[in-house]
Chain A
Amino acid sequence: MKSIYSITNDFKNKFLRLGFPWVPASTPKGVDSRVKNNSLGASYDTEWARRPAARLARAVIVETLMRPVMSLLATPTRKGLDRLEHLEGPAIFAANHQSHADTPLLITSIPEPWRHELVIGAAADYFFNTKATSAISALAIGAVPIDRTKVSRQSGDMISELIGQGWSLLIYPEGGRSPDGWGQPFRGGAAYLAIRCGVPVVPIHISGTGKILRKGRNLPRRSKSTITFGYPMEPENDENARSFSTRIEKEVRSLADETASSWWDARQRSYRDSSPSLTGPEIGAWRRSWALSDNDGKTRKRRRRWPVL
């Protein structure tokens, strides 16, 4: 049986094949186009999604849809929530990023009062490239568009304004889902925003979701996951975004270590600056995969699908 997904995809492809003028023409290379698609991408205005009606709708979606689905798919274990006890006011939650499952998982894991006053930094070019995806992202997860390709004042201004209004931000400093299961180096955005707005950063490590909806997969698999919260981190005096960012990355690495081993071992390694790297060894692609598959206990079972004749 054809899934709804493939039917809509067929329809979409057929429509796209009609070409211009049924679908918009892409701006030719090297041509400066005046008509930026004002309403999409980084300039998409998500203001409507923070109005009471939308927030109510989002709360309903989160509690009735996401939470049961995530507990079924990811069976999350949440650790370190006690570390947020003294946190007050808005904060920036910074997590590693392996899968689309990360966001619903975190939305259902970040405790009140932040959970329902949370916006999520989402790639403008991915989540906000059409009107439909923009609307869904903004409504369902409270996404706000962030330009990941370039430093844009637009995104920064908008987010610091939101933080100023008391909203917290969930952001993935890696800038996107891991392509191969290993993490990517942290970018400075979260640290920059924390310094700019004077709010703490809460480091979070998520493990296990890579198998649920890894990059390149469209159908989710079940897998156990663990979410570990770290102590809120304040930028030190005169600390710049770059070094603060390095500290955040180090903390997340240590949380990962804690998940994999024990708190004590992880602390020790953290102070010795020898927490296992999240980004994996600087080696060839296949060896990176090899190194990762080491801690995958199960062999992959995939039903062979013959074409239906």
Chain B
Amino acid sequence: MNTNDKETSRPSPRPGFVLDVDRNTPPIVFHHGENFRLEKLPPGRSRVVYPSEPLEGLPDPEGAIKEALLNPLGDSDPLPSLLKPGMKLTIAFDDISLPLPPMRKPDIRQRIIEAVLDMAAEAGVDDVHLIAALALHRRMTEDELRHAVGDRVYDSFAPKGLLYNLDAEDPEGMVVLGETPHGEEVHFCRRAAESDLLIYVNINLVSMDGGHKSTATGLAGYTGLRHHHNVHTLRNSKSIMDRENSALHASNWRMGDVIKDAGVKIFQIETTVNNNTFGREGPLALLQKREWEWSARDRGQFIAMQRGLDLLPVKAKRRIFGGWQSPYELTSVQAGEVEAVHKKTIENVYAQQLVTVEGQTDILTMGLPYICPYNVNSIMNPILVMCLGLGYFFNLYKGKPLVREGGVLIMSHPTPWEFHPVHHPSYIDFFEQVLSETTDPIEIEKKYEKQFAEDEWYIHLYRNSYAYHGVHPLYMWYWGSHAMQHLGRIIIVGGDQKAVRRLGFQSASTLQDALEIASDVVGPQPTITHLKNPPLVMADVI
């Protein structure tokens, strides 16, 4: 009762906005890996894109989920009427890369899967498989699966081998469903293809997630992915976060048609969460507050936190941040036919994240946090730093990029020359061999993709250990290829110099130095835009 009162008394969340920096603007907090930087931006020509405050979560998530399953969108029957005794049912769900950081228990996936299984049990469905749709990502450990689907589901299915990670390199387990008119093979999980109903459970953290991409990518292997996970497609995805202008999504949508034509019946469930990444209260709450609204306590806490983190060894810092689970709240859940569902999902994602920004800028700055989709419980290696900055944050735009063509991107991250040997074995090789030779995505694709994709050791580790697939680091590099082509220069502030140089970027010890270096490219007195992210903000550049 008490908490309810508190919620209703909370003022309504304010939208994100663009702050023009003047002399009185305080220094802005930049994420910087497992720490933070306070950066003073040049007055008069800088602006900061602030994210929206967290929207109110749905008061009754279970009720909303049930409601969505019973009242599907688009051309779809309610879930109970799709469930028949004796049918083959497969439930696929998003893997460890979503959401970021991992959310506090209960995970959305658990809530939805339990609701779905409840209906399946009522309908007398016996043959149920649950598959973590991880494509070429690393396998999830037992703990991670338990966190995602909950102990009840895990203990009911995993011991019988009915809850498992997708193995996209299992020749028996995968099937090619056909080709799109563009000649793209549609590679698909055999169990999912042969099921009477495939239910996909999404967490749509950003607008890139979901839609046909859930199944066409999540349940595919290298054979299928290479048709859209390539430099050409990604350079034509402007941006990958904007479904309508993304070649990546166009390809996935074509594949979606093939999947449909192959007779695979999909019941899509998509969910959105709010921006409550760091909590309304607690040690990180100040990260989603605006600097001038920090209380004395926030300020003291920040000073102590920053100093304390400086003193800690990096392993301890990783452990501390790795333990953070976001108190995300469900803001919407929609189910039914893929495209109708996804359309609504995008609206809900935009409602939380989209901020209108007028015009492009010469220099885009961003502070990169300690986590990206591929280093949950792991190490953020230099390639992932590149991917988070150039692949994800740069692409958080609609319309046109925040920074003009030929402009400069300045990112802040310690960028350690360090790799998780179990999770990212092929990354080490990619970094040691490929990047020491070239950083040109086209050349890398041409010369190395086949070697890395077909390396038997990587395949062995992907299938049996907890390694990302051999080709994954190349995909990371492709992810940044649009940004690399668009930008005139890329600078990393406060990074390991050698690692930054290996990435082909320039390193600067302070933001001031970085701005000096940038002036070689964009001239004196450039305009600067800082994307204050996360909590997530996506720029609608007009």
Give chain A's interface residues, CB within 8 Å of chain B. 19-22, 24-35
Contacts and interface: CB of A to CB of B under 8 A. Distances in A.
15 contacts: A20-B27, A21-B299, A21-B303, A22-B303, A24-B294, A24-B299, A25-B294, A26-B24, A26-B292, A27-B292, A28-B19, A28-B20, A31-B19, A32-B14, A33-B290
A33 B38 contact: no
Contacts, number: 53
Nearest to A18: B303
Contact of B26 (A25, A30, A35): A25
B466 interface: no
A33 B24 CA distance: 15
Contacts of B26: 19-21, 25-26
A24 B293 CA distance: 8
Contacts of A33: 290, 292-293
Among A24, A29, A30, A33, the most chain B Cβ lie within 10 Å of the Cβ of A24
Interface string B274-307: 0000000000000000111111101100110000
Nearest to A20: B26
B24 A20 contact: no
Contacts of A22: 299, 303
A21 B38 contact: yes
B197 to A, nearest CB: 47
Nearest to B40: A19
B17 interface: yes
Given A19-B26, A20-B38, A25 B291 contact: yes
A34 B14 contact: yes
Contacts of B298: 21
Among A21, A29, A32, the most chain B Cβ lie within 10 Å of the Cβ of A21
Nearest to B302: A21
Nearest to A30: B20
Given A20-B27, A20-B291, A22-B303, A28 B22 contact: yes
A35 B19 contact: no
Contacts of A31: 17, 19, 290, 292
Given A33-B293, A34-B293, A35-B293, A28 B24 contact: yes
A163 B253 CA distance: 73
Contacts of A32: 14
A131 to B, nearest CB: 10
Given A20-B38, A22-B299, A29 B24 contact: yes
A27 B22 CA distance: 11
A21 B293 contact: no
Nearest to A21: B299
Contacts of B290: 31, 33
Interface in B458-515: none
Nearest to A131: B296
A299 B134 CA distance: 90
B181 interface: no
Nearest to B21: A28
A132 to B, nearest CB: 13
B290 to A, nearest CB: 8
A105 B303 CA distance: 45
Given A29-B24, A34-B11, A24 B292 contact: yes
Among B14, B19, B26, B38, the most chain A Cβ lie within 10 Å of the Cβ of B26
B236 interface: no
A101 B401 CA distance: 61
Given A29-B24, A34-B11, A21 B294 contact: yes
A30 to B, nearest CB: 8
B388 to A, nearest CB: 26
Nearest to A27: B292
A25 B303 contact: no
A26 B24 CA distance: 7
Among B20, B293, B298, the most chain A Cβ lie within 10 Å of the Cβ of B293
B366 to A, nearest CB: 20
Contacts of B38: 20-21
A35 B24 CA distance: 18
B436 interface: no
A28 B290 CA distance: 10
A36 to B, nearest CB: 10
A31 to B, nearest CB: 6
Contacts of A27: 292-293
A30 B50 CA distance: 14
B25 interface: yes
Contacts of B294: 21, 24-25
Contacts of B24: 26, 28-29
A19 to B, nearest CB: 7
The list of the 6 closest CB pairs from A to B, nearest first, reads: A25-B26, A20-B26, A21-B299, A35-B293, A25-B292, A27-B292
